[in-house]
Amino acid sequence: MYTDQTGEAVLTALAAMPPRQRRKAARRLIYKKSTRPEDLTEQLIVLDALETDSALTSFDHFYALIAGSHKVIEQVDVAVAKARSERMWSIWPKVREMPVGYGLRKDRTHLVFSYLNVAMNLDLLAGGVRAKDWAEAAIAEVDGLNPRQMTPYLFNSNSNTIKVLGIAVLSCRDELERMYDLSLRLVSYGIEVNNPIFWWVFSRFQSPKQFKDVKIRAAFESHRNTMRRVFAMEQACQATTPEAKQLALELVADRCIAQVNPAQKTALIEVVKKELLS
């Protein structure tokens, strides 16, 4: 929709819209990457402005910050990452105070682990200054999860949750086995509560007649990657020598850090090996 425009042009267009239309358009820009300007710098102009847009909710503001931070990591902009990382740490208490709600973009668990995921990667790009702090914060959040407050969106959230735990155990290695066990339980419970309540409606009116007509969803590939991360943690738990443990933890890092592009992954892995696994 705005792919060929500058950030300022997008913001000008939003400002001219009635509140309801502006809210709808702004949310598309936050949650649908395909609607944003192609240039990452122009995307950042838009997302940074949406962090404080009065037409949006606090959840939207945080997700705009998350989306913008992802762009900073993709650009491998270390200088910006350092300043932004400290800002994310200062805002973290406000994120933790968000209420439990129903709906993917109103789900506290999904927000918290989306935030932790980008914050931990941003910190790594900045040199891993707060790696231990973020690791302890992530583990505390997992320990505080209440199964009775989980919604079907736990299945979606677990993609980030397992990434976060994988990065956390690089700094808190004494928690490796316990976090691996919790990861198994989180993934299992996410599948359990993901079952639709009105499954009979789906089976009667929406399911294909033959398995060859079943479409393999993007969510399934995401789940496969989640399990690859869990298996990497399992290998680290089972390692019997320091050398094997080191290699297994490197695999955990390889599976869990941000890797939209090769430059991003290379930069993050270098910090992990130098600061967390040396």
Model pLDDT for residues 77-131, shown as the tens digit of each residue:
999 999 999 999 999 999 999 998 888 888 999 999 999 999 999 999 999 999 9
CB atoms within 10 A of CB 17: 14
Task: Please name the residue that has the structure tokens 């790009």.
Answer: 125
Query: Of the candidates 171, 121, 111, which has an alpha carbon nearest to the alpha carbon of residue 141?
Result: 111
Mean pLDDT, residues 247-276: 97
List the structure tokens of 107.
């789900």
pTM more than 0.85: yes
164-203: b (≥16 Cβ within 10 Å) or e: bbbbbbbbbbebbebbbebbeebbebbeeeeeeeeeeeee
CA atoms within 13 A on the CB side of 270: 10
Q: Is the pLDDT of residue 158 over 60?
A: yes
Please tell me the predicted confidence (pLDDT) of residue 42. 96
Please tell me the predicted confidence (pLDDT) of residue 198. 57
Task: Please name the residue that has the structure tokens 């209420």.
Answer: 99
What is the tens place of the pLDDT at every residue in 170-207?
Answer: 999 999 999 999 999 999 999 988 875 655 555 666 67
Please tell me the predicted confidence (pLDDT) of residue 50. 97
Separation between Cα atoms, residue 48 and residue 144, nearest integer Å: 31
126-160: b (≥16 Cβ within 10 Å) or e: bebebbeebbebbbebbeebeeeebbbbbbbbbbb
| Secondary structure tally for the chain: helices H, strands E | 13, 0
Please tell me the predicted confidence (pLDDT) of residue 51. 96
Separation between Cα atoms, residue 61 and residue 47, nearest integer Å: 9
Helix (H) or strand (E) run with residue 214 in it = none
Q: In residues, how long is the chain? A: 278
